[in-house]
Amino acid sequence: MHRHVPPDNRGKDTARIAEAIQAIAARHGDRMGLDVPLSRMTTLRIGGPALAICRLHTPEDARRFLENARERDIPVVFLGGGSNVLADDAGFQGLVMHVATTDLVIRGDTVRAGAGLGFDALVTASLEAGLAGLEFASGIPGTLGGALVGNAGCYGHEISEFLVEATILRADGRVETVGPEDFAFAYRHTAYKDRSDLVLDAVLRLRRGDTAAAGETRLGIIAERRRKHPVDLPCAGSYFRNLPPDSPGGRRRAAGSLLDQIGAREMREGDAAVFARHANIIVNLGEAASRDVLTLAERMRAAVAERFGVRLREEVRHLTRFGWQTGA
């Protein structure tokens, strides 16, 4: 998931963009959907329509659609599994490229996988092939591409530990292979959150090990997730990032702990509510709108700031009418 391309399309005429998208659909309609609600594309089940969505099954699909969009000055965003995303009620005035590349090749201790492959599916496939290391990510929603762009992690591990290389489609149409240094990995952040580039696939290095023990770890983590996380309610995962440690080398402070202390679990705005079993998760009780979520999140943040003098930063990204919200 990345910023829109090009990044300066605020104020562009919707009718012109819609006409340009129709021209692309006339040539590639079998891979496109028009006026598709983003609520269908995100795990929070919120969001108005995007002018169009195209499905990228191959690197050539990605290159072709991006080239068409650039030629016609159409704003573009990339979307994988739609987790960690709040799509605006106003929808998106442009083209959403849905990454659906799911190829998987395992050789020795390396795994090459398409960026559209489900992250948890990758965990399962790796264990079945006798490779351990990714079990920490069991149950994490979304795709491999999204996990790399957001440097997904938990239980003391992050996806950045395993990346060997990735294939990238640059905003100018070039396809390049890059190493981990190009991502500039940080806590729940990479340089790719601020770029108009697309991750197409990646190679991870895992390890041969006791997959029976790793499988037990996986089952334990999934059970823990089911105990703490919503099972039947739409959500986007943890809403705010955890805080830096109090001292170098220490563990990050859980944002949920501060939110618990200000009574966040009792907070609700319309059909957006803080989950009863996790103070850092906002759920959609049925008809929540993006404005409900934003209002609720700001109430949570303000209460923490007043009590502790700490400003929480979102982990969930807001997709607005014009592209990804920046500066949060």
Contact 96, 198 (CB under 8 A): no
Cα–Cα dist 303/305, whole Å: 5
Cα–Cα dist 272/33, whole Å: 28
Q: 315 an active-site residue?
A: yes
Distances in whole angstroms, Cα of residue 224 to Cα of each of 139, 140, 220, 282: 10, 12, 6, 18
Give me the catalytic one of 39, 238, 265, 317.
238
Contact 191, 184 (CB under 8 A): yes
Cα–Cα dist 29/227, whole Å: 43
Please enumerate in sequence order all residues whose Cβ is within 8 A of that of 124, keeping only pairs 6 or more positions apart, or say none: none
Q: What are the backbone angles phi and psi of residue 254, rounded to the nearest 5°?
A: -70, 125
Q: 301 an active-site residue?
A: no
Contact 56, 103 (CB under 8 A): no
Contact 145, 80 (CB under 8 A): yes
Q: What are the backbone angles phi and psi of residue 65, rounded to the nearest 5°?
A: -65, -40
What is the DSSP code string of 135-188?
GGGTT--SBHHHHHHTT-EETTEEGGGTEEEEEEE-TTS-EEEE-GGGG--BTT
Q: Is 123 helix (H, G, I), strand (E, B) or coil?
A: helix
Give me the catalytic one of 135, 158, 314, 315.
315
Give me the catalytic one of 64, 188, 218, 301.
188
Q: 39 an active-site residue?
A: no
Catalytically active residues are 188, 238, 315
